A and B are shown apart, each in its own frame.
Chain A
């Protein structure tokens, strides 16, 4: 009886995952395989690909620009992700407070930035951080602080990009974490109240552990998304070519090489290496989840 059930179980499982998994394999992974083939060629979209063997990869490992791109990518990952997820957790926790009025309004307002098209977001923040008449420098002038030329300095531009990414994404992660927090039974908190626990105790020992499934999701997603950071480099880097070359990321490099400089083969090689790096990080996280993620 039990053995038969196991096999029927498996059948159900495969049936359930079939549409999604097959869909992803056909529309994402199969094209990726094509990409692998292209990475061994030289190709400019219009003519036939020319087979190059491992040349693209050899060039990749000797190219100093790739190293710069890697460093910049890692910078954004290491800085953006903890900030984004951490801040979202704090905000979600604040939104989860009992007897808080205007909760719905706050949720809506925080969600708004996520809704706006990235190209518009970039446009707006170009104006906000404009060195001559931007909002930020305007306020700094009133306070009496120096008003830097934000987009002419690599480090300041990096800061701007981190801030803009934060602004655009916080709503997303907050909603995700909030949904998780709302699943935590109030009984736990009440029990803690009875035992006389402070808000910190509640947060540290109830909220945090029980939110870990959602936090794990957020971390994985945030890391993958910040690896893919590209739009903002493109827009904010338009002002100053030298700044753009200093802060360029791998995702930007892949796009530029493939579509502006028409070296699809080389770009694909970089894309493959890029995917391997992101995959490794994700696998490590996946293994590590046993250590800190609590499922019921």
Chain B
């Protein structure tokens, strides 16, 4: 009996403490006078940036309260899809190229053309807001961009007595260097010269374009990857893996992830996007070098950027447009440059100042030969996932064969679903 009583008393005390909490958190704690703007994003690295920006904005606009919500990347789209159509979603949220294709035609995203003058799109290069356009109207404010470059490990190059990669490099130079940088210990490879990777952002598509190959048709409604230049490219990459062993097999690379392989000194060169510059620099420090990717028939580098879009059903359209204007301003760009390279023209300079000890010009140059992320004209999100899956499969065998042809068929079927 006594045990029971004690138990009940403990329960009551807990209840007395917790129950008020339940009801405290019930509804919005914002006083009714303030207009609330909800901003959703998926990368915690932006927390500090937004905290500062929001503090400044709220100080200048006392009638507005901006609420920040960071959502795990893996579930961002799930949550968005559930919340947005019901009107309980964000007022402003991050969008990327593939999902822009799916979201813009739905009427759930606010058309920014009427506010275009206020937001001042002229501060951005057209290539950054074009992917966020639909039927000639602009829907998104560009945030930050990344392009693909070649990262390499200076220490390994020094050890092998090789000169560093530069903008004169061709595929031949790349391959030769990889050969000299591959170190074997018996039958295991202890150090790989390079990573060649099917990824459609930071891997294969860059090489295919460098060889003059085609990915999508001009209207992006059809994948046309089964062309001789692409086949040649893929075979070149496959040979590096299977014939010569300068690069790890796909499974091995995915088990460890290519970032980890580069960071832990297992591989001398890797093509990756610039968003990861900060992390690589933190780990490798002075050993890290950057260079443009090797050219073949031309230079090519895939770029990608995110955009702020607004919910069409927002309760506070005027305030949202005003905040978007702030997000398109130089001030936003300056604060953002602490973490990423902003799309705001000239804004990237501040970001790159951090990395003056690297050959930063190479990154800035990529704008001149940048190609957008290979995104289809319809059903882009699922197609992009499938594209990466199919390319993975292509890379799992030593010869190209018909794999690009079958890949083309599968993707085109998915586009037209």
Which A residues fall within an 8 A CB radius of B?
A: 44-47, 126, 130-132, 149, 151-152, 238-242, 259-263
Contacts and interface: CB of A to CB of B under 8 A. Distances in A.
B385 A238 contact: no
Interface stretch (B75-83, B275-283, B296-304, B332-340): B75-83
A6 to B, nearest CB: 32
A45 B108 CA distance: 11
Residue in A44, A47, A132, A241 with the greatest tally of chain B CB atoms within 10 Å: A241
CB-CB nearest 3 A-B residue pairs = A45-B81, A261-B382, A152-B251
A45 B82 contact: yes
Interface stretch (B175-183, B224-232, B252-260, B366-374): B252-260
Contacts of A151: 251, 255
A240 B250 contact: yes
Contacts of B350: none
B73 to A, nearest CB: 13
How many of chain B's residues touch chain A, expressed as a range?
20 to 34
Interface stretch (B9-17, B133-141, B389-397): B389-397
Nearest to B81: A45
B251 A240 contact: yes
B102 interface: yes
B106 interface: yes
Nearest to A234: B74
B85 interface: yes
A47 B392 CA distance: 31
Contacts of A262: 102, 379, 381-382
A286 B74 CA distance: 38
B171 interface: no
B88 to A, nearest CB: 14
Given A151-B251, A238-B254, A240-B251, A46 B84 contact: yes
B124 interface: no
B106 A47 contact: yes
Nearest to A240: B251
Given A131-B255, A261-B414, A262-B379, 11 more contacts: A44-B102, A45-B81, A46-B84, A126-B255, A132-B255, A151-B255, A239-B251, A241-B396, A242-B393, A259-B81, A261-B385
A260 B382 contact: yes
B325 to A, nearest CB: 27
B381 A46 contact: no
Residue in B77, B382, B414 with the greatest tally of chain A CB atoms within 10 Å: B382
A47 B252 CA distance: 40
B295 to A, nearest CB: 30
Interface string B87-123: 0000000000000001100101000000000000000
Contact of A240 (B254, B256, B385): B254
A241 B81 contact: no
B319 to A, nearest CB: 24
Contacts of B77: 259
Contact of A239 (B81, B85, B254): B254
A219 B78 CA distance: 32
Contacts of A239: 251, 254-255
A35 B254 CA distance: 36
Nearest to A126: B255
B294 to A, nearest CB: 27
A45 to B, nearest CB: 4
Contacts of A261: 382, 385-386, 414
Given A126-B255, A132-B255, A259-B78, A45 B382 contact: no
A270 B100 CA distance: 28
A120 B396 CA distance: 28
A260 B392 contact: no
Interface string B39-64: 00000000000000000000000000
B298 to A, nearest CB: 30
Contact of B392 (A44, A130, A241): A241
Contacts of A240: 250-251, 254, 396
A47 B103 CA distance: 9
B139 to A, nearest CB: 14
Contact of B85 (A45, A149, A238, A260): A45
Contacts of A152: 251
Interface string B356-390: 00000000000000000000000101100110010
27 contacts: A44-B102, A46-B81, A46-B106, A46-B108, A47-B106, A131-B252, A131-B255, A132-B252, A132-B255, A151-B251, A151-B255, A152-B251, A238-B254, A240-B250, A240-B251, A240-B254, A240-B396, A241-B392, A241-B393, A259-B81, A260-B382, A261-B382, A261-B386, A261-B414, A262-B379, A262-B381, A262-B382
B416 to A, nearest CB: 13
A240 B396 CA distance: 9
A46 B382 contact: no
A131 B256 CA distance: 9
A76 B269 CA distance: 41
A239 B249 CA distance: 11
Contacts of B85: 45-46
Contacts of B82: 45
Nearest to B390: A241
A97 B155 CA distance: 61
B95 to A, nearest CB: 12
Nearest to A243: B251
A148 B167 CA distance: 41
B396 A242 contact: yes
Contacts of B106: 46-47
B389 A130 contact: no
B197 to A, nearest CB: 13
Contacts of B396: 240-242
A262 to B, nearest CB: 6
A131 B393 CA distance: 20
Nearest to A259: B78
A130 B255 contact: yes
